Structure 1
Amino acid sequence: MRLRIKKKSIVFLVLCLFLNMIGILNPDVVQADVSISTDNLIVNPGFEVASNGNTAANWDPQGVGIFTITNSLVSGGSRAQKISINNLPVNQFAGVSQAIAVRSGQPYMMNGRFYVESINNAKVQLYADFFKEGAIVDSKVFDLPSQSTGQFVTLGGNGIVPDEATTVVIYALIRSTSDNGSGILMADNVSFKYTNDSNLIANADYDKFSNTLANSDDWDYTTSYNPTFSSVAYPSLSGARAQKISISSLPVNGYAGIFQKNKTGFRKAISGQRCFVDRESL
């Protein structure tokens, strides 16, 4: 009897050792796998949650500027962060920032939506500083030209979190390019996600929407007639929703559609009668 018990104990210990070696019983391996998420790591990315101050909750003001929450010019939802500067010295900036924890070596996509109402001797930047124990190890910067945009523009790109980096501070800002820099900027829907997807279009699957009887978040519409825009759950090729565009009695060469302006160009979907648009890429 004792011999059988010893044999069973030895077999159990060997099995445990084997499972531990391949990682099944190692909690660190499981945590490492499940912690890699494709969700947006930024808190309050659309500036929807207000605070007691002039910047949205979870965002900090940086530099000398005038910060307000606006609901008149938004890319999605009902609010955006407005940043205004005047007489800013060369290379100084004003903006909002948020610090988040990151995992080194992970591919990421970072982008945001920006409306430049006016700008002079300055430029708009989506800026990321990566830190290890309080020291900067690398930076990533995306620039918008020094001109008014007339509508929201998607600005951003892809990268890999630097080795040993544990924190990133992300800024949406206006930086002066010479003395007397000035400008008015609306920032909205800032995103930082772990992903291998190189698509630079925001809300490419049309899954984010503020109102089902409207165009999807982060998209603008263009028309020479009177179409109906709506966000629908069916049919959908990928994700949970698609953009529906309906129109009737369209005259020759008439058009209706949605588009998104990116730093590298436009993306349009034009409708002649009725179409369901799903998953754009650039």
Structure 2
Amino acid sequence: MTRTSIASWNINSVRARIGIVEKFLREEAPDILCLQETKVECTLFPPDMFKRLGYDHIVTHGQRMHHGVAIVSKVPLTDIRKYDWQANGEARHVGVTLPSGVRLDNVYIPAGGDIPDRELNPKFGQKLDFFGRMTEWSGALNGTPTVLTGDFNVAPLESDVWNHKALLDVVSHTPIEVETLARLQAASNWIDLGRHFIPAPERLYTWWSYRAKDWEASNRGRRLDHMWVTPDLMPKAVSHRIVQPARSWERPSDHIPLITEFDF
């Protein structure tokens, strides 16, 4: 058994923000980093900085200008999987198996557009259907110890948003999205590490809009990024935290990283 740290971060273009990714890796040095919204084809993913810092194992699932996920690691990665849970070819999932036998799945769930109605907004329907396929997958894990992380694009709890009442009709916090996320969670009795280590009603955000002139002063955040584990891994989770200062770094992502330490 060894201490293993896993980080997750929606970087909003890995090439545009390679400088702050390097800063994060030098300061926090996680063993594994899961990235979402890499916005780059697999052949153009920039490996050099990662390898200089000891992240020799790189798995990508990308596409040009949009979406994209990647896992970079100091430890070997095997059993690579890339699921198309939206059934449209978008690069939104990559999964691997760690040396411990633990499965790690990294996902970028669709944002869902601006109108929370699948008839008026097909993107919202696609988001709900994506969750539906994930729920079927989750129910078939059959006891495989798994870490599921990424940008889920849903803030489920009242304390996961800056104003619950104001956001009830805003995509990412609508009742139907919260209920849909709950069905996914129930499908394998997933443990939400963010709320295990930082219980509600404490405020906990991982995303702040670029539209705010001073994001820190207004603090109109949402917890869109998550790390879940199957119940068998809960005793192995040692700590979980967010890296909020990253939102103020040069040319920041609108999301911040999460880091969990495990003993496995």
Question: TM over 0.5: same fold?
Answer: no
Give the number of the structure whose residues are more often strand, by fraction.
1
How high is the TM-score relative to the length of structure 1?
Answer: 0.26
- When Rg is computed on C-alpha atoms for both structures, the one with the higher figure is 1
Give the number of the structure whose residues are more often helix, by fraction.
2
How high is the TM-score relative to the length of structure 2?
Answer: 0.27
Greater relative contact order (CA < 8 Å, ≥ 6 in sequence): 2
